[in-house]
């Protein structure tokens, strides 16, 4: 991280348009820096142990990050608007169980597993969005509540049962482990979503509104941005992707009880923040979020492959998170400073 900080002094800007270009450049640099960091981790680990680049290992690097990356896409949309969705892990668990249950008892066709899982997410996302925008309850409270409500509903539906691998159709589970030209289908599916949403976030007016809302809600309202509608949509998309992720979770792990996806919300927020999405809203890209997920997964796998004591995993992931948040803070201060004159008031922070 420090290497990046030193390398990217944004000192040669002009006022006006130039500063926004500079911000974009910095964000891009952030994604580039994550790519470089991933490359560094892979390189160091490979020098240590060449087997880290075996095809099985690379495939797991990708598919292991895929679900968190997918959840990270929706989470990015929400966080960019200065909100947060903590219910994604529970939504994933509920969706996965419902799909598994339908496979076991109703023998539904394989394709409908994905559709139904996604619909579960749509519904919960809409409820989240409704409570946040119409009833104006802070999203942290709403989605934290939903985290428990959904887990509770899940518990009632599961009622001590478990869906075992033998009940999941093999064509469904194939999505979880089959490869296309050596690339896991799971990674391909998620990459398509990341690229599609990433493109939309850059190009469409509605998605630019999300950034405006997160940067300055009052200004966005004055500028005529339909804040409620946009935030609602962001929650629905987050729920939708979490529901879809639930179906993929089932395809990958082939068994589900009522603990599926527990604790994922924090992994997702961690990946998103490491990926350069400002936790206070207003900036960040889904590409960064997805790369953040890949980075965290790569570190976990690399530590074990390097024969480093597994106890270090959480500490290192946590340190990275702190570094990322500190970097965000530093960045926003830097930008503020250059937008004002050359004042140095905030340097101590």
Question: What residues line the site for other proteins (CB under 8 A)?
Answer: 49, 51-52, 54, 56-57, 60-61, 64, 67-68, 98, 101, 104-105, 157, 159-162, 164-166, 177, 249, 252-255, 259-260, 262-263, 297, 300-307, 310-311
- C-beta atoms surrounding 292 within 10 Å: 33
Task: For other proteins, give the closer residue by CB, 249 or 327.
Answer: 249
Instruction: Tell me how far, at minimum, the Cβ of 96 lies from other proteins, in Å.
Output: 10
Instruction: Tell me how far, at minimum, the Cβ of 82 lies from other proteins, in Å.
Output: 29
C-alpha closest to that of 298 among 322, 328, 275, 325:
275
Task: For other proteins, give the closer residue by CB, 208 or 253.
Answer: 253
Instruction: Tell me how far, at minimum, the Cβ of 255 lies from other proteins, in Å.
Output: 6
Integer Cα distance of 80 and 46 in angstroms: 36
What residues contact 145, with CB distance under 8 A and at least 6 apart? none
CB of 91 closer than 8 Å to CB of 246: yes
Task: For other proteins, give the closer residue by CB, 18 or 169.
Answer: 169
Task: For other proteins, give the closer residue by CB, 216 or 313.
Answer: 313
Instruction: Tell me how far, at minimum, the Cβ of 168 lies from other proteins, in Å.
Output: 9
What residues contact 333, with CB distance under 8 A and at least 6 apart? 346, 349
- C-beta atoms surrounding 178 within 10 Å: 12
Instruction: Tell me how far, at minimum, the Cβ of 56 lies from other proteins, in Å.
Output: 6
Q: Give me the residue label for tokens 């937008």.
A: 339
What residues contact 210, with CB distance under 8 A and at least 6 apart? 77, 80, 81, 201, 230, 234
Task: For other proteins, give the closer residue by CB, 8 or 253.
Answer: 253
Instruction: Tell me how far, at minimum, the Cβ of 32 lies from other proteins, in Å.
Output: 25
Task: For other proteins, give the closer residue by CB, 100 or 214.
Answer: 100
What residues contact 282, with CB distance under 8 A and at least 6 apart? 80, 82, 211, 214, 215, 216
């Amino acid at each position: 991280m420090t290497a990046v900080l030193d390398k990217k002094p944004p000192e040669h800007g002009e006022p006006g348009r130039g500063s926004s270009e500079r911000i974009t450049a910095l964000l891009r640099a952030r994604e580039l820096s994550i790519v470089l960091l991933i490359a560094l981790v892979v390189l160091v680990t490979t020098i240590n142990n060449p087997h880290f680049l075996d095809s099985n290992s690379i495939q797991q690097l990708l598919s292991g990050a895929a679900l968190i990356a997918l959840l990270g896409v929706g989470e990015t949309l929400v966080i960019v608007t200065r909100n947060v969705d903590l219910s994604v892990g529970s939504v994933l668990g509920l969706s996965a169980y419902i799909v598994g249950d339908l496979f076991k008892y109703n023998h539904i066709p394989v394709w409908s597993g994905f559709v139904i899982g996604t619909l579960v997410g749509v519904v919960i996302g809409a409820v989240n969005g409704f409570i946040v925008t119409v009833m104006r309850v802070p999203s942290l409270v709403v989605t934290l509540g939903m985290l428990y409500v959904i887990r509770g509903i899940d518990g009632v539906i599961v009622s001590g049962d478990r869906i075992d691998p033998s009940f999941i159709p093999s064509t469904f589970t194939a999505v979880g482990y089959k490869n296309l030209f050596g690339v896991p289908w799971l990674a391909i599916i998620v990459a398509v979503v990341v690229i599609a949403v990433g493109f939309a976030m850059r190009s469409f007016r509605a998605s630019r509104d999300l950034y405006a809302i997160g940067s300055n809600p009052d200004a966005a309202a004055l500028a005529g941005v339909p804040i409620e509608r946009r935030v609602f949509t962001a929650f629905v998309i987050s729920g939708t992707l979490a529901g879809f992720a639930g179906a993929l979770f089932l395809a990958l792990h082939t068994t589900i009880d009522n603990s599926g996806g527990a604790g994922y919300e924090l992994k997702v927020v961690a990946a998103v923040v490491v990926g350069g999405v400002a936790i206070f809203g207003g900036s960040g890209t889904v590409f960064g979020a997805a790369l953040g997920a890949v980075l965290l997964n790569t570190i976990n796998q690399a530590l074990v492959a390097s024969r480093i004591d597994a106890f270090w995993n959480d500490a290192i992931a946590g340190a990275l998170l702190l570094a990322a948040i500190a970097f965000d803070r530093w960045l926003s201060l830097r930008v503020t400073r250059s937008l004002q004159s050359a004042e140095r008031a905030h340097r101590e922070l």
